[in-house]
Every structure is written in C-alpha cells, then in structure tokens.
Amino acid sequence: MIKVFLAEDEFVVREGIKNNIDWIGHGYEFCGEASDGELAFPLIQKLRPDIVITDIRMPFMDGLELSKLIKKEFPWMEVIILSGFEEFEYAKEGIKIGVAQYLTKPIKGDDLLKEVDAVAARIEEKRRERLIREQYEKEMEEANLRERSRLFTHLVTGEKSPAQLMELAGNLSIDLTALQYNIVLLLLQSKAHLMGEYSDSVVKVEEKIKELEQEYDFLLFDRNLEGKSLLFKADSQEALQKNLDGFLENLKTILAEFPHITYFGGIGVCVNRLRELPECYIQANRAFAHRYFSSENRIVEAGAIDFDTAKDRNAFDLTSVDPKQIERGRTTNFLKFGSSEEAVYFVDEFLNGIGEKSLESEMFRQYIAMDCYFSVSSFVESLGYERGEIRQPDMTGGVLKSVGSVRDYIRSIVSDAIDLREKKSSSRYGEVVDEVLSYIDAHYGEEELSLNTLASHVNISPNHLSMIFSQQTGQTFIKYLTDLRMNRAKELLKCTVKRSSEIALEVGYKDPHYFSYIFKKTQGMTPTQFREDGAKTLQEDGTEDET
C-alpha cells in the first residue's frame, strides 16, 4: 500500500485533506502529518512515505526547502507541492528540485486524489521496473558466479596480462587495484559429508563469510567441490596481514556456531603484483594439500610448513620412518577428492613427510613406489577399470634409481588415476544432465523451476549441479532455461493468436511485464514487435498473416 504524508500549516486545510478523502478506500495509507517542514522532515525520515504533499508557504521551513531535503536523502520519494500562488518562479524551482506536481490552492479532494493517483501509478511502474531488474539480476547470478570463477582461473594461471585482468574484472564490477595480495583456499564440509551432498549449514557459513568481504577487503571466488578462494588485497603488508588476521578470528567465531562443520584452509605468500599471483596460488595449494596429512579444523600458512627433518640428518633405518606418513588411507582419500592440479603438491608433501634421507635407500624407494602402485591400482579397480590402466614401477630399469624418479613416477600414476576418475564422473554426470534436461523440457512452463528444484530431483547439491551442467552443456542452467522459454515463446507468437500474457504464462512467467522485459533483453525487441515483424515477413513471402 502506498503511503502518503501531509505537511500543511493551515489546520483547516490539513484536516480537510486528511479526513475528507477516503484514503484507505482508494488504496492509500495516510501515514502522518506536520504543520511545518521542520517538524515534517524527521517524521518523513522515520515513516518513509511514498508521496509527500506539502504546502509551499509554511513557517520555520517552507515546502521548497523541505522538498530539497527529501529529494537529496530519498530521491525515489515523490513530492506534490500545494500553493496559493501561480507564480512561475515557484513552479520552475519545483521542477528544478524534481517535485512530481505543482498544484494551486484551493483544490478539491477529488482533484487532489486524481493527481495522487497519477503519481502513484508512476511509483508502481518504477517499483515494477525495479523488481523486474532485481529478479533478472538474481537469475543471472549463476552466470556472474561462473564469470567470477573464470576470472580467478585467469588470475592464478598467468595466461592474461595485468591489463586484460583489469578489464575482465571491470566487466564484473570488481576492483583488483592494490599494492599487496594473498590467496586463501578454504574448504568447508559437514561431518556427514558425502560427495555432492547438500548442506544447509555449509551454505549458511558461506553466506556469513560473504558478508565479511568489504570489511576485510577480499574477493570471494567459488571453486565448486574444492571449496572457496579468497583473494585478499591491501596497500601494505601490514594492512593485508591485519585484514587476514581479523578475518580468521571472525571465521573461528562463525564456525563455533556450527560444531558439525569441519574446515581446512591454506594461505599463500604475500605478493605485490597481479602477475605474481600464480606463485601465491602455488604456495596456497601446497599449504592446502596438508589437509590430507593434518587434522581437521586448521588454517595452514605456506611459510609455516616445516617437516621434522631430524631423520634426514641420520643414516637411514626403519625406525626413522613414521608409519603415519605412509598410511595408505591418505593416498586413497586424495584419489577420491583431490584434483589433478593438486597432485603435484600432494605427492611432494607425501614424500617430504617421509624424509629425503629415508628415500636415499633404493630398497625403501622401491617399497614406497610399490605401495603407491597398489593403492592407486586398487582405487582404479574400484572405479571399474582394469589394473593395467596404471603403469607398474620398473624395478630393474632406472625409473626408481633416484628420489626424483620416484617422485615423478608417483605423480604420474596419481594423475592418471584422477583422470580416470574424472572420465568416469563425466560419464555419470552426462547421465545426470540428460535427466535434468528431460526434466526441464517437461517442466519449463513452471515458474518455480529452479536450480534448487533440479538439484533436489537428481539428489546432488545446487553448486555441484551448476558446475556439471555448465561442463556438459557449455552454458549455465538459467541461460539454457531462458533460451528454451524464449524459443517456445517465439514459436507461439508466430504460430498462434494467443496474447502475450497467455504466452508468458505458458512458458513459465506469471508476470507478463517480466516476460516482456526478458524477451526484449534477449531478443532485442518486444513480443509485439517480434509478432509484427514475423507477420510482415510472412506477407512478404506471399503467405497470409496468421496472427
């Protein structure tokens, strides 16, 4: 309901406007009144009316002064000025300020109501346009997240120049300008975590982290199942560290509210150029890889990684090897959840944990290589592949003659296993996306159809579904759905005489105004223009106009 406020110094006029018009009956709320502008403005700040009716001549603060204050603080608020003078200068000043109407007194209640109705209609139209824009921006958020993710990839791979990175960031309204940078990789999981499982609690924590972006000057990027990336930036190392420390303190406070959420983070090293972010990311990944070797609920700094190297200084014997460092479960866990780009860091930390001195023994190198081979081949068999997919270590050749050769061998078989896992997942994801596409085709006319609906249908998380849908189809879910709806709408516009409002409802838009907005946004013309253009095309081809 639109709210109306009245500022009028004449008591009789004020009472007449307030009581002689059936505000409620005409759909308005008369929310307040004041006898001058000075008293009116604080009330207006508190009540936030949509329309302010004010006399131009009032003691203490007149209507023009009040209007200036209103339009400065609440530019969306509409002002109707009443005046007993028809002087052009007053009207001119009112127009300059941005008032909606300049009316002369005396004015009848019906006439005033007619002017209020006209202003209210404009307000409703602006509201509708704003809601339409907000709805469209919300629907396009998935595409925005995808573009943000691509930007982060460009930042950490070094494949774009700083100028190109700045341009890409500018397109997303992101400011990359800073003198110092650092990257934090963060993974949140519920203790009952399963691959792709949806967790309301994790989403709530991520939303709380999002709220800290401006306070601690970082940019949040989605890494899908691998968690989140946070790019911290500041104008000095001191400011950067202060923001990072403040964020970590807040994170601990947030996570204390969710004891069933586990977390692990890796922090890179501070760099002072965008072109140095790839090295920062490498260091953050090295720290992040420690989640396979450390306890849960830790944030590891790359610069603080320090293995116990005492055994490296001693002659090798089995008692110098920590059995926990060669536990098979760690390798299997990484094969299940790790990524290809993490393989090099995982293997490095795995071997560093064993100790360089231990690996100087050829027999022990062979043992480690064989143990990794059996772990990897067993995992590959669990995926349904043959063990022969994984290369066996050559015990007679030179493959295992040095620590470096063992490192390269283990890296290669771990990477091969992850590639096979991804190939298997891609095949399974293809089936999931096929099911999703069938569901969309059957339900695209339902306005409630959303990524969450589809995720629930195929029993995986919305973020996970968004990722695999984009991978399999090459476009986001919302773009696919919008294109499908628009193509069906164009078909109906050309081949039926149905009204646009009927077509809007049929293709999934209850609000015909929003349908028209989307249609024009995607097709470059309104539904009416498209229909008329189609009719002209048919006539030019010698075919009767079916519409």
Distance CA 46, CA 81 (A): 21
Does the pLDDT at position 516 exceed 70?
Answer: yes
Do 37 and 61 meet the contact criterion of CB atoms below 8 Å apart? Answer: yes
Does the pLDDT at position 515 exceed 80?
Answer: yes
Distance CA 115, CA 111 (A): 6
Instruction: Of 134-148, 156-170, 446-460, 481-495, give the lowest mean pLDDT range.
Output: 134-148
Q: What was the pLDDT predicted at 250?
A: 94
Q: What was the pLDDT predicted at 217?
A: 94
Q: What was the pLDDT predicted at 48?
A: 93
Q: Letter for the amino acid at 130?
A: R
Q: What was the pLDDT predicted at 307?
A: 44
Instruction: Of 186-190, 272-276, 482-486, give the lowest mean pLDDT range.
Output: 186-190
Instruction: Of 195-199, 245-249, 390-394, give the lowest mean pLDDT range.
Output: 195-199
Cis peptide before 106 (omega within 30 of 0): yes
Q: Which of 16, 29, 102, 31 is nearest to 63 (CA)?
A: 102
Provide the CA 353 distance to its chain's centre, in angstroms: 38
69-95: pLDDT as tens digits: 998 899 889 998 888 766 556 666 666
Q: Which of 513, 515, 547 is nearest to 126 (CA)?
A: 513
Backbone angles phi, psi at 137, to 5 degrees: -65, -35
Backbone angles phi, psi at 104, to 5 degrees: -95, 145
Q: Which of 380, 399, 319 is nearest to 355 (CA)?
A: 319
pTM (two decimals): 0.58
Do 49 and 31 meet the contact criterion of CB atoms below 8 Å apart? Answer: yes
The residues that bridge with 267 in the sheet, in sequence order, are: 184, 301
Instruction: Of 246-250, 257-261, 307-311, give the lowest mean pLDDT range.
Output: 307-311
| Coil/strand/helix, residue 234 | strand
Q: What was the pLDDT predicted at 538?
A: 42
Residues constituting the chain: 547
* CATH number for the domain running over 482-540: 1.10.10.60
Tell me the mean pLDDT in the region 247-270: 92
* Proportion of the chain above pLDDT 90, given as a percent: 34
Does the pLDDT at position 262 exceed 80?
Answer: yes
How large is the C-alpha radius of gyration of the chain?
Answer: 33
Helices within 159-276 (DSSP H only): 162-171, 200-210, 237-256
Token readout for 137 is 């921006």
Most confident of 102-106, 438-442, 451-455, 509-513: 438-442
125-159: pLDDT as tens digits: 888 888 887 777 777 777 777 888 889 999 999 88
In what helix (H) or strand (E) does residue 30 lie, and over which residues does it extend? strand 28-34
Q: What was the pLDDT predicted at 162?
A: 92
Higher pLDDT, 116 or 129: 116
Within the chain, all domains assigned CATH 3.40.50.2300 are found at: 2-139
Q: Which of 358, 331, 192, 221 is nearest to 284 (CA)?
A: 221
Tell me the mean pLDDT in the region 494-506: 92
Tell me the mean pLDDT in the region 476-480: 89
Does the pLDDT at position 192 exceed 60?
Answer: no
Burial 349-382 (b: 16+ CB within 10 A, else e): bbbbbbbebbbebeebbeebbeebbebbbbbbee
Within the chain, all domains assigned CATH 1.10.10.60 are found at: 482-540
In what helix (H) or strand (E) does residue 430 lie, and over which residues does it extend? helix 403-443
Instruction: Of 220-234, 321-335, 373-387, 512-526, give the lowest mean pLDDT range.
Output: 321-335
Q: Letter for the amino acid at 89?
A: E
Instruction: Of 246-250, 296-300, 304-308, 497-501, give the lowest mean pLDDT range.
Output: 304-308
Instruction: Of 6-20, 29-43, 54-68, 324-338, give the lowest mean pLDDT range.
Output: 324-338
List Cβ<8 Å contacts ≥24 apart for 504-512. Answer: 505/445, 506/445, 507/444, 507/445, 508/444, 508/445, 508/446, 508/447, 508/449, 508/481, 509/447, 509/485, 510/447, 511/132
Per-residue CA distances from 477 to 143, 197, 443, 466 (Å): 9, 19, 14, 7
Does the pLDDT at position 494 exceed 70?
Answer: yes
Domain 147-303: homologous superfamily in CATH: Reverse transcriptase/Diguanylate cyclase domain (3.30.70.270)
Domain 2-139: homologous superfamily in CATH: Response regulator (3.40.50.2300)
Does the pLDDT at position 542 exceed 50?
Answer: no
The residues that bridge with 4 in the sheet, in sequence order, are: 30, 51
Does the pLDDT at position 269 exceed 90?
Answer: yes
Tell me the mean pLDDT in the region 506-535: 87
Within the chain, all domains assigned CATH 3.30.70.270 are found at: 147-303
173-183: pLDDT as tens digits: 899 999 999 99
319-339: pLDDT as tens digits: 555 555 566 677 888 888 888
Instruction: Of 168-172, 322-326, 409-413, give the lowest mean pLDDT range.
Output: 322-326
Q: Letter for the amino acid at 344?
A: V
276-315: pLDDT as tens digits: 999 999 999 888 988 877 777 889 998 776 544 434 444 4
Tell me the mean pLDDT in the region 536-546: 44
Instruction: Of 237-246, 308-317, 489-498, give the lowest mean pLDDT range.
Output: 308-317
SS (H, E, C) 352-414: HHHCCCHHHCHHHHHHHHHHHHHHHHHHHHHCCCCHHHCCCCCCCCCCCCCHHHHHHHHHHHH
Q: What was the pLDDT predicted at 536?
A: 54
Average pLDDT, the chain: 83
